[in-house]
């Protein structure tokens, strides 16, 4: 079940990714949250509360109708509870979103996930299996804390003391983290290669539905309270592109189950294509609205 690639390579990949995130962060990224409080509250509420509830209903449907296994059910709940991924900033930049908002949301989501992800994981294990205490153990929480938060703090400290060096290293670190992550995902999937067709059949449709719901909620929920389009695009990518590296790490290294990691691996591949499609649709919508003279940048003063 375990291999050097998954037990050592995966935490290293996550650590490098979070280090790269820290190299691009300063304290000013957090103060930006003060200028758009209601948008921040709404996005975090969708990420932390709404999506796990929606996912739980979806999982129950697939358990009853399609005989979804308990481990895959737990894995799907971990995807829903994982924070926004670091690639959300890239997609937000490509489709004219507020990248600064993505950086701030990713940072704060990564911190809140240190509490919410173990809680959701533990409750899911308790509900679907007999191992509910695993995700709530203090030692396991500290493992995740060390792997995720410490590299961010180190990256921010390096940037504060050597900004020029941080700027030079940010891109190579991100490229390296992607390469390592791809290798680790391939290794994790290879460990369950014989069962892969069954897993795709079991979770493929569920993952697709949840991903599309995440992207839709991410864009339209902020727009419903009058948030401008750039912030709505940022929210769309932040909520739609989950940090599946985090859920993969916990599944494989903390819970010791590659089966629980399967939904994260499937989601981690699928989301890049669906997010690109969503971005293209939103860009086309903006072009059409501008041609029609429709105001697409409504923004309330309280945000």
Which of the two residues, 104 and 42, has the higher pLDDT score? 42
pLDDT at 303: 45
pLDDT at 154: 87
Percent of the chain with pLDDT over 90: 26
pLDDT at 58: 96
pLDDT at 148: 61
* Average confidence (pLDDT) over 169-176: 74
pLDDT digits (tens, 9 = 90+) for 129-150: 876 544 444 555 566 566 666 8
Asked whether the predicted pLDDT for residue 221 surpasses 80, the reply is: yes
Q: Which of 85-94, 102-111, 168-177, 262-271 is most confident?
A: 262-271
Q: What is the secondary structure of the chain as a DSSP string?
A: ---HIIIIIHHHHHHHHHHHHHHT--HHHHHGGGG-HHHHHHHHHIIIIIHHHHHHHHHHHHHHHH---HHHHHHHHHHHHS-B-THHHHHHHHTT--HHHHHHHHHHHHHHHHHHHHHHHHHHHHHHSS-TTGGG-HHHHHHHHHHHHHHHHHHHHHHHH-HHHHHHHHHHHHHHHHHHHHHHHHHHHHHTGGGHHHHHHHHHHHHHHHHHHHHHHHHHHHHHTT--HHHHHHHHHHHHSB-HHHHHHIIIIIS--HHHHHHHHHHHHHHHHHHHHHHHHHHHHHHHHHHHT-------TT-
* Average confidence (pLDDT) over 226-255: 87
Q: Where residue 298 falls among pLDDT bands split at 50, 70, 90? A: very low
Which of the two residues, 257 and 80, has the higher pLDDT score? 80
* Average confidence (pLDDT) over 75-83: 93
Mean pLDDT of the chain: 80
CATH numbers and ranges of domains, the chain: 4-286 (1.20.1530.20)
């Amino acid at each position: 079940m375990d291999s050097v690639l998954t037990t050592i390579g995966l935490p290293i990949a996550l650590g490098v990714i979070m280090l790269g995130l820290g190299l691009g962060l300063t304290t000013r990224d957090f103060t930006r949250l003060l200028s758009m409080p209601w948008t921040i509250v709404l996005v975090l509420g969708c990420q932390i509360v709404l999506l796990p509830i929606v996912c739980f209903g979806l999982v129950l449907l697939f358990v009853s109708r399609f005989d979804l296994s308990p481990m895959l059910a737990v894995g799907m709940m971990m995807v829903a509870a994982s924070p926004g991924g670091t690639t959300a900033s890239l997609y937000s930049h490509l489709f004219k979103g507020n990248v600064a908002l993505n950086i701030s949301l990713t940072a704060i989501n990564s911190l809140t996930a240190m509490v919410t992800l173990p809680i959701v994981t533990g409750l899911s294990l308790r509900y679907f299996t007999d191992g509910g205490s695993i995700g709530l153990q203090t030692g396991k929480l500290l493992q995740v804390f060390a792997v995720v938060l410490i590299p961010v703090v180190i990256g921010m400290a390096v940037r504060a003391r050597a900004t020029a060096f941080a700027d030079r290293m940010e891109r190579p670190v991100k490229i390296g983290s992607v390469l390592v992550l791809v290798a680790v995902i391939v290794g994790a999937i290879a460990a369950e290669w014989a069962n892969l067709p069954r897993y795709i059949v079991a979770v493929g449709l569920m993952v697709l539905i949840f991903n599309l719901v995440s992207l839709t909620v991410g864009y339209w929920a902020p727009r419903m309270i009058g948030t401008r389009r750039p912030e709505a695009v940022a929210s769309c990518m932040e909520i739609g592109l989950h940090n599946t590296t985090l859920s993969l790490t916990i599944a494989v290294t903390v819970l010791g189950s590659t089966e629980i990691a399967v939904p994260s691996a499937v989601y981690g591949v699928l989301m890049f294509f669906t997010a690109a499609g969503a971005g293209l649709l939103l860009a086309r919508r903006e072009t059409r609205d501008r041609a029609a003279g429709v105001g697409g940048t409504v923004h309330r003063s309280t945000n």
